[in-house]
Amino acid sequence: MTLEEKVGQLHQVPPFFFSDSLVNEVAGPLRKYKISEAQLYRVGSILGTAGPEEMRQLQTMYLEKSRLKIPLLFMADIIHGYKTIFPIPLAIAATMDVERSRLAAKIAAKEAATSGIHVTFSPMADLARDARWGRVMESSGEDPFLNYQMTYAAVKGYQGESLKDPSTLAACGKHVVAYGAAVAGKDYTQAEVSKHSLYQYYLEGYRACVDAEAELLMSSFNVVEGVPSTVSPFVLKTLIRQHLGFKGVIISDYDSLNEAQFHHVTHTGEETALKGMQATLDIEMSSGIYQNYIIPLIKKGQLSERLLDQAVLRVLQLKEKIGLLDDPFRGLNPALEATLPLSEAHYQAAYDVAKASPILLQNEGVLPLNKEDDVVFVGSLLDEQNLLGAWAWHGEAERTASLGMVLRQRYSHELIPFDTLNETHVARIQNAKKVVVVVGERSKEFGEARSKVSPTLSEEHIQLWHQVIAINPSVITLVLAGRPLVLPSKIETSKGLLYSFYLGSAMADVLADTLFGQLNPSGTLPMTLAREVGQLPLHTLSLPTGRPFEGKTYTYTSHYIEGVNSPLYPLGYGLSYTSFSLLKAKKMHENDQAILLEVTIKNTGTIPGEHPVFAYLHTPPVPVALPEKTLVGVSRISLDAGATQTFTVTLPKHHFYYYDTQYRRQSFLGPFTVTVSLIGETLDVSC
Residue 32 has a pLDDT of 59
Mean pLDDT of 603-628: 97
Residue 23 has a pLDDT of 45
pLDDT of 15 > 90? The answer is no
* Number of other CB atoms surrounding residue 242 within 10 Å: 10
User: CA 327: distance to chain centroid?
Assistant: 32
Convert the pLDDT of each residue in 330-342 to its tens digit.
999 999 999 999 9
**Residue 57: what are its φ and ψ, rounded to 5°?**
-60, -45
Q: Which of 512, 490, 509 is nearest to 498 (CA)?
A: 512
Mean pLDDT of 336-365: 97
Residue 17 has a pLDDT of 78
Angle at 177 between CA 173 and CA 181, to 5 degrees: 115
pLDDT band for position 554 (cuts 50, 70, 90): confident
CATH number of 78-336: 3.20.20.300
Q: Where are the domains of the chain?
A: 11-76, 78-336, 353-535, 580-686
Residue 30 has a pLDDT of 46
User: What share of the chain has pLDDT > 90, as a percent?
Assistant: 92
User: What share of the chain has pLDDT > 70, as a percent?
Assistant: 98
pLDDT of 685 > 50? The answer is yes
Residue 627 has a pLDDT of 97
Residue 553 has a pLDDT of 72
Mean pLDDT of 520-540: 97
Mean pLDDT of 517-538: 97
Residue 551 has a pLDDT of 83
What's the DSSP call for residue 632? E
Mean pLDDT of 293-298: 98
On the question of a cis peptide bond just before residue 484, with omega within 30 degrees of 0, the verdict is no
pLDDT band for position 20 (cuts 50, 70, 90): low
Q: Is 433 exposed, middle or buried (0-12, 13-18, 19+ CB in 10 A)?
A: middle
* Number of other CB atoms surrounding residue 684 within 10 Å: 11
Tallying the residues shown for the chain, one arrives at 687
657-659 and 665-667 as β-strands: parallel, antiparallel, unpaired?
A: antiparallel
Whole-angstrom distance, CA of residue 149 vs CA of residue 102: 10
pLDDT of 34 > 80? The answer is no
**Domain 580-686: which CATH class?**
mainly beta
Cross-sheet strand order for the sheet of 580-590: 580-590, 594-603, 644-652
3-state per-residue secondary structure call for 527-582:
CCECCCHHHCCCCCCCCCCCCECCCCCCCCCECCCCCCCCCCECCCCCECCCCEEE
Which residues lie below 8 Å from residue 619, measured CB to CB, with a gap of 6+?
Answer: 626, 627, 628, 629, 630, 658, 668
Convert the pLDDT of each residue in 106-142 to its tens digit.
999 999 999 999 999 999 999 999 999 999 999 999 9
On the question of a cis peptide bond just before residue 26, with omega within 30 degrees of 0, the verdict is no
pLDDT of 31 > 80? The answer is no
Mean pLDDT of the chain: 95
On the question of a cis peptide bond just before residue 425, with omega within 30 degrees of 0, the verdict is no
Which residues lie below 8 Å from residue 458, measured CB to CB, with a gap of 6+?
Answer: none
Within 13 Å and on the Cβ side, how many CA atoms surround 327?
15
Whole-angstrom distance, CA of residue 613 vs CA of residue 582: 10
Domain 353-535 has CATH 2.60.40.10: no
User: CA 256: distance to chain centroid?
Assistant: 21
CB 72 within 8 A of CB 59: yes
- Lowest-confidence segment of 76-80, 414-418, 560-564, 625-629 by average pLDDT: 560-564
Q: Is 208 exposed, middle or buried (0-12, 13-18, 19+ CB in 10 A)?
A: buried
